Structures are given as C-alpha cells and as structure tokens.
Amino acid sequence: MAEKLVQQPSITIKPIAKHNGIFLVILGALVLFTTLLFAQHYWQTYRFAYMFMTLLSLVIILMGVVKLFEPAISLFLTPDKIIFNHRYGHWQLAWQDIKSINIITEVVGLDRETLPYIGIRLVAIENIANNISVRLANRLIHQQQGLIIYGVLHQLMTMEQAQMNFNPFILSNGERVKGPVAAFLHQSERLSSAFGYHLFLPADSFDRGINEFCQLIKQCQRASSTYHQS
C-alpha cells in the first residue's frame, strides 16, 4: 500500500487509534470466558446479568478487532509529499499543492471551539482528484458526516449543501470526474466553504497531541522547499 509509495527518507506517524487493540481482544475474551463459566451454574438466577456481560464482552472484542485492522502507519511525511494511509486506501499530496495547514477551530457565541481535526487547504482542488483511491474517497464521504452535521447545526452550511452530490465533478481543465471521487470533491468544496479547508486529518490518526503534530507538519512543509537545495 502506502509503504510502496515512499522512496525517500520519511517521518512515519503511527495512529493512536490502533493502541490497545490486542489488550481489548484479550480482555473481552477473558470476560466472555468468565461469564460463560459462571453461567453454567447460576443461569436462572442471574441470566439477565449474564446476557449483559456477554454482549459487553463481544463489544469489547469487536472494538479491539477494529483497532487491529487500523494501518500500522497512518502518515508518511517525506521531503516531497505527505501521504495519508487509511485501511480503505490512501491519498497523497506534494507539499507545494498545499496552501495552508491549521487546527480546525470555530467561534461559537463567545467561545472558540477546537475540533479534533487538522485542516489542509489546497492550492487547487484538482490536486487531490487523481491522488486519492476510490475506496478511500467513498469512505471519507461517510466518515466526514460529523463535520457536515456540525456545519449545519452551527449554520456554516445549509441542509441542501449537506446532501451528497454524485453528479460528475468538472475540473478546471474540463476533465469530468465521476463516481465516489466526484462526490468526495463536491463535499470537499462544501466543507472548504464552511471551514476553510478541503481535507481533514482526524486527531486519532496521530501519535502525539494535535498541537504538536500541527507544528510538525507545518515544519515539514516549510523544510520541503529547501531540502533539495542542500
């Protein structure tokens, strides 16, 4: 997958979302085994408690399995580009295709809310059109619904803008993009109008705090312009 794309020295970022996967699977299995063991003798008296504990253990196991399926490395930061790696695919961008990078914040009343995302604003949206896998584009359409709902609730977007648009997306050169990638590009444009950014990196894909990672990624972008001159 993304590992094959990296041919230069890079900084690798491991997702925090993968942490404790094995522990949760083992914990869930132990709870399930213990519950089934005691249920053989006291089922009639405590059957509802046993049913609850069985369901709870299965949920814990499922959470652990989902974590184990997360990619071992979520981001590659190379001198030339940034690569976002997801279990459904990847996208990549050259640093010069990125206009700005910041933590997503919104003013709500008298307060400023920080959302658990780092936003990436592109120089041109077509920069991502041919650099994102179809499966990931399809997944992100649904995964970003939380941002869509937040935008509607805080009047950053209208209900019409919140609807998915599967019409072809026309690039500046006249090329027509269809399918899930087109829907993703339409959604990226609407999110850009609402939040000011086209792409969103979730905080659980970092191995450090969101502020620290934001500084790191900005430093990588600045350093990229001088890397090949040294």
At 52-84, the pLDDT tens digits run 888 888 888 887 777 677 777 889 999 999 999
Confidence of residue 5 (pLDDT cuts 50, 70, 90): very low
The least confident of 14-18, 26-30, 99-103, 218-222 is 14-18
Q: Are strands 11-13 and 75-77 parallel, antiparallel or unpaired?
A: antiparallel
Whole-number pLDDT of residue 2? 42
The pLDDT of residue 230 is above 80? no
Lowest mean pLDDT among 8-12, 70-74, 99-103, 154-158: 8-12
Per the structure block, which two tokens stand in for 18?
A: 């993968």
pLDDT for 15-52, tens place per residue? 776 656 677 778 878 888 888 887 777 777 777 887 88
Task: Enter the pTM of the model.
Answer: 0.77
Confidence at residue 21, expressed as pLDDT on a 0 to 100 scale: 66
Residue 147 contacts residue 162 (beta carbons within 8 Å):
no
The tens digit of pLDDT for each residue in 103-148 reads: 999 887 778 899 999 999 999 999 999 899 999 999 999 999 999 9
DSSP the chain: -GGGG--S--EEE--GGGTTHHHHHHHHHHHHHHHHHHHHHHHHHHHHHHHHHHHHHHHHHHHHHHHHTS-S--EEE-SSEEEEEETTEEEEEEGGGEEEEEEEEEEETTEEEEEEEEEEEES-THHHHTSB-HHHHHHHHHHTHHHHHHHHHTTSS-HHHHS---SPEEPTTSPEE-HHHHHHHHHHHHHHHHHS-SEEEEGGG-SS-HHHHHHHHHHHHHHHHHHTT-
- Which residue, among 63, 73, 72, 70, has the nearest Cα to 88 in the 3D structure? 70
CA distance 185 to 96: 19
- 40 or 160, higher pLDDT: 160
Position 6 scores a pLDDT of 43
pLDDT for 227 equals 64
